[in-house]
Structure 1
Amino acid sequence: MKFIGFLLLFCCIMGEVNAQSTKPAPVVLGKNDTIRVAITNVDGELIPWVVCPEVKIRDSRIFASDADRDNYRRLRYNVFKVLPYARFAGNRYRQLQRDLALTADKKKQKELVNTCETEIKTLFNKEIKNLSINQGEVLIKLIDRESGTTSYAMVKDLKGGFKAFMFQSVASIFGHNLKETYDPEEQKDIEAILKDAGYTSTNN
């Protein structure tokens, strides 16, 4: 009887030892279990950290009245309506300046200026002439933002002072000023609209 009890005790002990000596099953790692991350040593402790994408936090604009909200929405519409024209004018003007700098031939320079003027006139006849007065005002401001020069200076540079004066006279009839410059501080609403849309000026 004692022998049987001893045998049972021996079997239990051996079984426990074998269980402890059995190697655990290998761990299979997935592709996301071996991501390498940067670490920072803080008092001997290695702390992993991950760089997260930039997150932009903006306040929700609160309007004083429905009229203010409608005015802002109308301005936003006008900005995106004329922005392509302002970008075209800015890009075309800078291209002209680069082309003129590559030749000293007066005849060639005149041809370049005339070509630029023709392209702008074509755009005007097709699209810009149908803009509202408010959209025209926004366009004048955005041209300065895009090109780094006023509409008046652009016309004067292309066609001379007299033509610039004539254009300014016509624009003034509609309440516009071709010499108007773009100031981000004064045009906070326009600047906010462009930045909210993730747009940056092409005038680099």
Structure 2
Amino acid sequence: MKFLRFFLPLCVMIWAAAAFSAKAQVDPASLPRPITGKNDTIRVALTQYDGEMIPWIALSEVRIYGQRTFASEAHRLAFNRLRYNVLKVMPYALYAKRRYGQLEYDLAKTKDRREQRKLVKACDKEIKDMFNREIKELTITQGQILTKLIDREVGRTTFDIVKQTKGGFSAFVYQSVARVVGHNLKSKYDPREDREIESIIISSGYYNY
């Protein structure tokens, strides 16, 4: 009798586990599918739920922002000017992020010093061409914001980038020239100190993917 007292619960547990396993291993192709119409042409994912295949679509994140209020008209105008300047230079910072990221990737693929110098020279030429074509038209304020945004996107200051690609002496010369016109290539980005810029970037839609 003692044997049966232990044997029967064991059999029940084994049967339940087998039934659960059989249920879990149901072929999804054998389950009923949603009825589609002639205009249902978009392929979506299906998930098995309670014996049926349920269609679903992953939705992008939606951010909702409150309408900002300003203490005065002067504050509103100042914020709008800052927003204009940030959105003006943000594409250049993102370009620098992509271009220097590609440079680091290319440099990591070769150990040949001559080839590395060619890669650096090509990158430097692209940056200079963009400078001569567009960036030279930026105002001093926009240039100051750009140097901060480059540090935000690339993770290094403009001075560090020039030093790595062109050498310490060139970085010193570039910094000296930049200081004359009111820039500082060593400017770092701090989301707390630059919280106005950060809020503009977050609400701009650049990272809604």
**Taking structure 2 as the reference length, what is the TM-score of the superposition?**
0.69
Correspondent of 1:129 among 115, 133, 136: 136
Superposition RMSD on alpha carbons, in Å?
Answer: 2.7
User: What secondary structure, in the 3-state scheme, does the structure 2 residue paired with 1:183 have?
Assistant: coil
The verdict on how the C-alpha distance between 1:160 and 1:55 changes in structure 2, with shifts beyond 3 A counting, is: closer
- In structure 2, what is the equivalent of residue 159 of structure 1? 166
| Aligned-partner Cα distance in 2 for 1:173–1:98 | 34
Which residue identity does 1:115 align to in structure 2?
A
The match for 2:54 is none
SS of the residue corresponding to residue 119 of structure 1 reads helix
2-structure distance, mates of 1:57, 1:81: 23
**C-alpha separation in 2, matches of 1:57 and 1:200:** 14
CA distances 1:38-58 after superposition (whole Å, capped 9, x unpaired): x9xxxxxxxxxxxxx765342
Among residues 195, 198, 202, which one is paired with 2:205 in the alignment? Answer: 198
* 1:10-49 aligned within 5 A: none
Aligned amino acid, residue 94 of structure 1: G
Higher-Rg structure is 1
Asked if 1:116 corresponds to 2:123, the answer is yes
1:74 aligns with 2:112: no
Residues 127-173 of structure 1 show CA distances to partners (whole Å, capped at 9, x for unaligned) of 00010001101110111111111000000001000000011111111
Percent identical across equivalent pairs?
A: 54
Structure 1 regions of 5+ residues with no counterpart? 1-30, 32-38, 40-52
Task: Say how many residue pairs are matched.
Answer: 159
Name segments (4+ residues, structure 1) moved above 4 Å: none
Segments of 5+ residues of structure 2 without an aligned counterpart are 1-36, 38-48, 50-58
Pair 1:174 & 2:181 matched: yes
